[in-house]
Amino acid sequence: MVKDMQTLLATIDPTNNVPILWDQFLVEFTKNFQDTAKADKARTAIQNFQMKGDDVDAYIAGFEQLARRAGYTTGSPETERLFLQGYLAKSSRCEESAAGLQYEDIKERAIQSAAAKE
């Protein structure tokens, strides 16, 4: 890949050295040198992710970012279990009230609960 890019750069007239070339370089670089453990790291992080204090918005944002990196979908039972696990950790939040609910419903209840405390 490096030699291919060097060859390409050597053949380009300096007046044609445009951003699109560098965009292509970044695509090729990312494709060839991406973090292959990114999803695994996110899966490990989401297993240990917990809500801090009563900031439900920060918890939801952080959780959903990790879920995307891990390749989880928001409607899966695994995602719902992990969300509840982190939301309920170290708290008196009631897990039974979320039984049978889907992710979006659980998230909405968490937001309503936080709003009620304010």
Express each pLDDT in 32-88 by its tens digit.
Answer: 887 778 889 999 999 999 998 888 899 999 999 999 999 998 888 899 999 989 988
Q: Are residues 46 and 91 in the same domain?
A: yes
Domain count, the chain: 2
More confident residue, 55 or 114: 55
Residue 9 is part of which domain span? Answer: 2-32
CB pairs under 8 A, 24+ apart, for 64-70?
66/42, 67/42, 69/38, 69/39, 69/41, 69/42, 70/39, 70/42, 70/43, 70/46
Ranking 2-16, 34-48, 90-104 by mean pLDDT, the lowest is 90-104
Q: What angle do CA 25, 30, 33 make, to 5 degrees?
A: 115
Q: Are residues 113 and 58 in the same domain?
A: yes
Q: Are residues 27 and 83 in the same domain?
A: no
Q: Are residues 93 and 107 in the same domain?
A: yes
pLDDT of residue 92: 55
